């Protein structure tokens, strides 16, 4: 696939495994420099080494918790410092749908809010902190 993205830059949250890592790999194959983001540092570093060795493209591991405003702000600052302008943002950081395991009457507001915070508000946080600089 040639998407004419060579030379662009990306931040992929949830990039240490699963769907986020697969997206980071495809972007790197297109010649996009990628900052991958997750909480667990070991998996993050291993994924960055694996993807950069495989694609010969710069992959930067940045540890952050996307449920925390402070942590996302620091992550965006580091990504901008390392990559310059960030052209592409992919939000794939989240726990895999814990609500699916619940029956509707059993869903707790606190659980729902936690899920919403990690899965949905991360997009708003990344855009708020990243957009003024791009």
Ligand X SMILES: NC(=O)c1ccc[n+]([C@@H]2O[C@H](COP(=O)([O-])OP(=O)(O)OC[C@H]3O[C@@H](n4cnc5c(N)ncnc54)[C@H](OP(=O)(O)O)[C@@H]3O)[C@@H](O)[C@H]2O)c1
The answer to whether residue 45 forms part of the interface with ligand X (CB under 6 A) is: no
13-32: buried (b, 16+ CB within 10 Å) or exposed (e) per residue?
A: bbbbbeebbebbbebbbbbb
Please report where in the chains the tokens 């950069």 appear, as a residue: 52
The answer to whether residue 118 forms part of the interface with ligand X (CB under 6 A) is: yes
Of residues 27, 48, 66, 83, which one binds ligand X by CB under 6 A?
66
Q: Alpha carbon 11 to chain centroid distance? A: 6
Query: Which of 6, 120 has the CB closer to ligand X?
Result: 120
Cα angle value 131/35/99 (rounded, 5°): 80
Query: Which of 15, 55 has the CB closer to ligand X?
Result: 15
> Strands (DSSP E) along 1-134, which ranges?
9-13, 33-38, 59-63, 88-91
Query: Which of 19, 89 has the CB closer to ligand X?
Result: 19
Of the candidate spans 24-32, 78-86, 95-103, 126-134, the one that interacts with ligand X by CB under 6 A turns out to be 95-103
Query: Which of 7, 40 has the CB closer to ligand X?
Result: 40
The answer to whether residue 14 forms part of the interface with ligand X (CB under 6 A) is: yes
The answer to whether residue 92 forms part of the interface with ligand X (CB under 6 A) is: yes
């Amino acid at each position: 696939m040639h998407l004419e993205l060579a030379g662009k830059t990306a931040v992929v949250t949830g990039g240490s495994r699963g769907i986020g890592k697969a997206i980071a790999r495809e972007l790197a194959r297109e010649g996009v420099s990628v900052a991958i983001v997750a909480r667990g540092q070991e998996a993050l570093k291993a994924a960055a080494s694996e993807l950069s060795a495989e694609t010969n493209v710069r992959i930067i591991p940045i540890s952050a918790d996307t449920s925390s405003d402070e942590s996302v702000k620091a992550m965006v600052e580091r990504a901008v410092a390392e990559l310059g302008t960030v052209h592409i943002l992919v939000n794939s950081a989240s726990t895999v749908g814990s609500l699916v395991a619940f029956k509707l009457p059993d869903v707790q507001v606190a659980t729902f809010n936690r899920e919403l915070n990690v899965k949905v508000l991360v997009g708003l946080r990344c855009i708020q902190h990243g957009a003024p600089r791009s």
